[in-house]
Amino acid sequence: MTLFEKHNETLLNAIDALHARTFYAAFVEHPAPAVYGETADVDGQGKFKNWLGSKFSELKQSGEVSWAGQEESPYLQEPLKISYPIFSSNTLVEKAKSSFHVWRKVSAKDRAGILLESLERVKARFFEIAYATMHTTGQGYMMAFQASGPHAADRALEAIAAGYEELNRFPQTALWDKPMGKYNLKINKEWRAVPKGVSVVIGCSTFPTWNSVTGIYGSLITGNPVIVKPHPGAILPIAIFVAEIQKVLAENNLDPSICQLAVDTYDKMITRELAEHPDVKVIDFTGNSAFGNYLEALPGKTVFTEKTGVNSVILDSAEDIDKTAANLAFSVNLYSGQMCTAPQNFYIPEGGIKTPAGNVSFDQFAEKLVANINGLIDNPKAGPFVLGAVQNKKTSERVAEAEKIPGKVWLKSRSFENPMFKKARVATPVIVEVDATKQDIFSKELFGPIALLIKTKDTNQSIQLAQAMAQQHGAISCGAYTTDAEVKEKIADAMALAATPVSFNLTGGIYMNQNAAFSDFHVTGGNPSGNASFTNPEYVTKRFTWVGHRESVM
C-alpha cells in the first residue's frame, strides 16, 4: 500500500470539508488518554525535558558551521539551553535548489502521501510539542497542546488538501479537436503545474507551528522545497515538525533537504539574507508590519504575510450583557492578549448598550468587564492557565507603559501567582478609557493584554471608527454585539468592505480570538494586516504556475 492509499480517505474528507465549511477535525483537540494513550502526557513531558541542555540531533541536515540556541522559558525565566545546527544562508539555498529538481518531479499523489504521513508521525509527538510550546511561547498547557498540535496539524492538512485540489483542477492531457469543415484540426495538449522554486517560511515567537505549517505544507504540496526559519525564541516546536518531515522523505528515498530548518540567533539573524537571496522565490511571514511591508516590496518574490492589526469590538445592544462581558473578558485574558485576533478597541456608545432590562451605561459595562477579568484572574483553577505567561519582556514593558495612556485607567496590570511556576513572567490586562478623538492612540496595535474603551456618539460612529481602523491599519478580527437586524447588516457590510470578518453576539465557549481550520479563513488579505489568507485557493495557486505544451496530431 502506498502512502497515498494509506491516507487517501483523510485527504478526501479534508477536501470535502474545504467545500462544506462545516466542522471537521482530523486530529482530536482534547488531550484525552483514551485517544492518545494513558502515558502520552508523561512521556511527552519527559521527551521535552530530555532536550533541555542538549543538541537537537534529529535533523537530517549536514554542513553546519556551529551549534546554537537562545530559547528561554517564560515560565521559568531560564534558558532552555537546547542547541541546533547553524547553517549559512548559501548552504541552505544551494541544498534547496538541488532538491527542487527532485521534489518537483514527484507526483501530487506521492507528495500528498508523504506529507500526510508526516502529520501522522507528528501526532505521536503532540504532547512533546505542547511542552515545547509552553516553554518557548508562554501559552497555557491546553492552548499549547491544541494550537501547536491538533489545530496546527489540521491547518497543515487543510493546506495539503487545498494544494492537491488545485493541482488536480485541470486535466494533465487532452485532445483538442476543432472541426474545420472537410477536416478536423487535432492537437495533443498537456499542462504542467510548475512550482515557483525555493520557499522560505519565517516563523513567529508566539505561535511557532500554527502560523508556520500552512506555508510549509502549502509550498511542499505544490512542489517547492522549503527552508523553515523559526523565531530564535521559539524553535523546538517547529523543529519537531521539520524532523518528522525529513524522516518520511528519507524513508522514501528522497532528499531530506526538501524541507530544512534554518536556525539563527538574535545577534546574527539570517532572515534578510534568505529573503533577498535571488534563488528564493516564495516567502511566508508572520510578524510585525514593518518587516512584512519590507518583504512585500521585494522584487521577484511571491510573498504571503500575516502582519499586525487593530481589532475592534462594537457594542450596540445585547440579549444578556453579563454573558457578553464574561465572553469578552475571557478574550482579553486569553494567552495574555498575545494573539493576533485578540480584541483591543472596544467602541461603546455614550448613551449606553441596549438590553431587555434597559440601557447599560458606558461606566456600568466597564465595571462588568473589569469584574469579569479580575474574577477569571483570581480563579486559581482557571486564571493562570488561561493567561499563561508573557513570551517577550518587551510585551511586559508595553503593558506597563499603557497605564500612562491619557484617559481613565479602569484596570491596572498586576502580577499573579502561577501555582506551578513561581517565576513565571506574567502581566494581567490593563484597561484604559480613551476619548474617541484620540485616534493617534488607538490606531495602532498595542500587542499584549491591553484593552481600550472608546466612548462614541452612537453605534454609527462606532462602526465608522472600526471600519476606518481596519482599512487604514488592518484588522484580523472584529467582535460585534447587537440585537437589531438592520444594525447587524450595517456592521457586516461595513466590515466586509474593510476585509474584516465579524463574530456576532458570541457568548459561552466560543471567542472572537479563535479560528477553525476548514471553515474560517484566517486573515483575508484585503487590508493592511496581511496580504494572504489561510487557506483560500490563492494561498496555494500562487505557489505554482500552469504551463501548457501542444503538438499537432498528424
Residue 486, burial from CB neighbour count under 10 angstroms (0-12, 13-18, 19+)? exposed
Distance (Å, rounded) from C-alpha 70 to C-alpha 424? 18
Boundaries of every domain in the chain:
3-307+532-552, 312-504
Rounded to 5 degrees, what angle do the CA atoms 22, 470, 434 make?
120
- Place domain 312-504 in its CATH homologous superfamily: Aldehyde Dehydrogenase; Chain A, domain 2 (3.40.309.10)
Q: d(Cα 447, Cα 439) in Å, to the nearest integer? A: 17
What is the rounded CA–CA span in Å between residue 313 and residue 304? 27
Q: Give pLDDT, residue 108.
A: 98
- Furthest CA-CA distance within the chain: 88
Neighbours of 294 (CB within 10 A): 15
Angstrom distance (rounded) from CA 452 to CA 437: 13
Residue 449's CB is within 10 A of a number of other CB atoms, namely 29
CB neighbours of 187 closer than 8 A, spacing ≥ 6? 175, 176, 550, 551, 552, 553
Report the pLDDT value the prediction gives residue 541, as an integer from 0 to 100.
98
- Per-residue pLDDT at 57: 96
Asked if 262 and 87 count as a contact pair (C-beta separation under 8 A), the reply is yes
Q: State the pLDDT at residue 120.
A: 98
- 268 phi and psi, to 5 degrees? -150, 70
d(CA 305, CA 532): 6
Q: Is 3-307+532-552 in CATH node 3.40.605.10?
A: yes
Q: 3-state secondary structure string, 507-523?
A: CCCCCCCCCCCCCCCEC
The phi and psi torsions of 480 (rounded to 5 degrees) equal: -150, 140
pLDDT in tens, 53-86: 999 999 999 999 999 999 999 999 999 999 999 9
Residue 65 phi/psi, 5° resolution? -95, -20
Distance between CA atoms of residues 229 and 64, nearest Å: 15
Please report where in the chains the cell 513570551 appears, as a residue: 391
E strand map for 13-71? 66-68
Q: Are 391 and 137 in contact (CB under 8 A)?
A: yes
pLDDT digit string (tens) for the chain, length 554 residues:
999 999 999 999 999 999 999 999 999 999 999 999 999 999 999 999 999 999 999 999 999 999 999 999 999 999 999 999 999 999 999 999 999 999 999 999 999 999 999 999 999 999 999 999 999 999 999 999 999 999 999 999 999 999 999 999 999 999 999 999 999 999 999 999 999 999 999 999 999 999 999 999 999 999 999 999 999 999 999 999 999 999 999 999 999 999 999 999 999 999 999 999 999 999 999 999 999 999 999 999 999 999 999 999 999 999 999 999 999 999 999 999 999 999 999 999 999 999 999 999 999 999 999 999 999 999 999 999 999 999 999 999 999 999 999 999 999 999 888 999 999 999 999 999 999 999 999 999 999 999 999 999 999 999 999 999 999 999 999 999 999 999 999 999 999 999 999 999 999 899 999 999 999 999 999 999 999 999 999 999 999 999 999 999 97
From residue 456, alpha-carbon distances to 268, 464, 549 in Å are 47, 10, 61
pLDDT, tens digit, for every residue of 285-333?
Answer: 999 999 999 999 999 999 999 999 999 999 999 999 999 999 999 999 9
Partners of 304 in beta bridges: 284
Residue 38: what pLDDT?
A: 95
Tens digit of pLDDT for each residue in 214-260?
999 999 999 999 999 999 999 999 999 999 999 999 999 999 999 99
**CA atoms of 545 and 202, how far apart (whole Å):** 23
For residue 417, the model assigns a pLDDT of: 87
| pLDDT of the residue at 516 | 95
